[in-house]
Amino acid sequence: MVIGIADCNNFYASCERVFNPALEGKPVVVLSNNDGCIVARSNESKALKIKMGEPIHHYKELVKSKGVHVLSSNYELYGDMSARIMRLLNRFVPVMEVYSIDEAFLDLTGFDDVVSRCHSLQRTLKAWTGIPISIGVGPNKTLAKVANRIAKQTPSMDGVLYLSELAQIQAALADFPCEDVWGIGYQFNQLLKRNNIKTALELTQVHDVWIQKHMTIDGLRLVDELRGNFRRDLDLSPSPKKSIGSAPSFGEAIPDLPTIQEALATHVARCAEKLRRQYSAANLITVFLHTNRFNPKVPQYFQTRTVSLPHASSATSELIQYADSVLQSIYQDGYHFKKVGVLLSGFVPDDFHQMALYTEQPDPRMKQLSNVMDQLNGKYGRDKVRLAIQGFKQNWKPKRQLLTKRYTTRIEDVIRAT
DNA sequence: TCTGGGGTCCTAGGACCC
DNA sequence: TCTGGGGTCCTAGGACCC
């Protein structure tokens, strides 16, 4: 496989520049919703050591002295721009996965002269949308991400790098810190540091068992991809969301219930709209209520409650009503709340719930299975069967599609071996 | 003083059902 | 009466991504 990742450079900042070319060449930062944190930076801002995610007030001096342009975010604009970019990419690369607002995985398998193809894609996008992109290419998603990062850091590459040969990959990984690997965040990096694993190359040499134990099955897949194996397919059709939530903070902490109720209703309405747009209805509703966790001086209160609805719903008024009753059940007097939020989940297709599909039916495989168990017990004796099962139970978890025959064979194998 | 918001997946244990 | 089996739902916590 040949997998690319196309990634827009400094996406929000670049979008702002498209609509205001005067910002070209100047340091730009874009802020989060209520203008709290920095969520995007132009290269010039990065050069000033302005960090991602930091509150803007940390940079008061710098903003003034260096003339940094500070902008509120405009997600509608970014969404539109993103859709244009994805459509355009798709014209040149038919098999792709839209991974985030500013990234897409591209299946470049079978393309010839991958590097120059990527360069021309880059030029086309820049010319037609004004947005600069970088493209990393490798045998799988993880290595494509690695390549992309290196391409961005190395000006001579002009934003494109294809890691193809094993030797080339290993050379790149030898200089690549673990913390920059896609899927390794702060906690895993600390863990690796404690075990003296610093580069991605070193990580590829760690035993699978250790990786899976400490970093779960996701970690194992990731490490396997660093080794050059293909473990994660492109996700070609965007699946409907599994949960939809909304929980912006209040500008100021709020003590009184009616104001909180009103805010919650607004959030629920927004979620319900999203829910209907994807033709889902929710079975579960979660409400949470927080005080300001950053202010240790005020008494803290943090409550979350999930309730299941009597029937799946996507109706705004109905959902608001349920959310409100949950809110009232967790609300407590005497606190100043900074955030109230809602999360809808447990989705079913919207018209599905109207059909009476929820008749309980016993699973026929149960009967089948107990017959098999009886037969085995009769044939080998209860103790042997039990021992055999214990032997492989830990390592082998049959999934949903239980195949009784396969299961029986496994048990018999183990008995024969012991 | 001020500190984002919206998502995903995995693990593990307990209650309960067939 | 106990054991063996698969399975769901729920909760809670922990990790990650952009």
- Closest nucleotide to residue A35 (Cα to C1')? B4
Q: Determine the Cα–Cα distance for residues A142 and A140; give it in Å rounded to an integer.
A: 6
Asked whether residue A70 carries a pLDDT value surpassing 90, the answer given is yes
Asked whether residue A396 carries a pLDDT value surpassing 60, the answer given is no
Query: pLDDT-based confidence at A412, cuts 50/70/90?
Result: low
- Closest nucleotide to residue A295 (Cα to C1')? B3
What is the model's pLDDT at position A371? 62
Q: Determine the Cα–Cα distance for residues A42 and A50; give it in Å rounded to an integer.
A: 10
Answer for A103: CB within 7 Å of strand C. Answer: yes
> Which residues in 221-250 of chain A line strand B, with CB less than 7 A from it?
241-249
Task: Work out the average pLDDT over A159-171.
Answer: 97
- Closest nucleotide to residue A250 (Cα to C1')? B4
Nearest residue to B2 via alpha carbon and C1': A57
Torsion-angle region of A158 (φ positive above 0: left; ψ -120 to 50: alpha; else: beta)? left
How many CA atoms are closer than 13 Å to the CA of A361, on its beta-carbon side? 6
Task: Work out the average pLDDT over A212-232.
Answer: 93
Asked whether residue A401 carries a pLDDT value surpassing 90, the answer given is no
User: Tokens in use for A45?
Assistant: 């801002």
What's this model's pTM, rounded to 2 decimal places?
0.81
Q: Can you tell me whether residue A97 is helix, strand or coil?
A: strand
Answer for A292: CB within 7 Å of strand B. Answer: yes
Q: Name the burial class of residue A261, with classes exposed (0-12), middle (13-18) and buried (19+) by CB atoms within 10 angstroms of its CB.
A: middle
Element (H, E) at A306: strand A302-313
Distance (Å) from CA A213 to C1' C1?
A: 38
Distance (Å) from CA A401 to C1' C17?
A: 30
Task: Work out the average pLDDT over A385-395.
Answer: 50
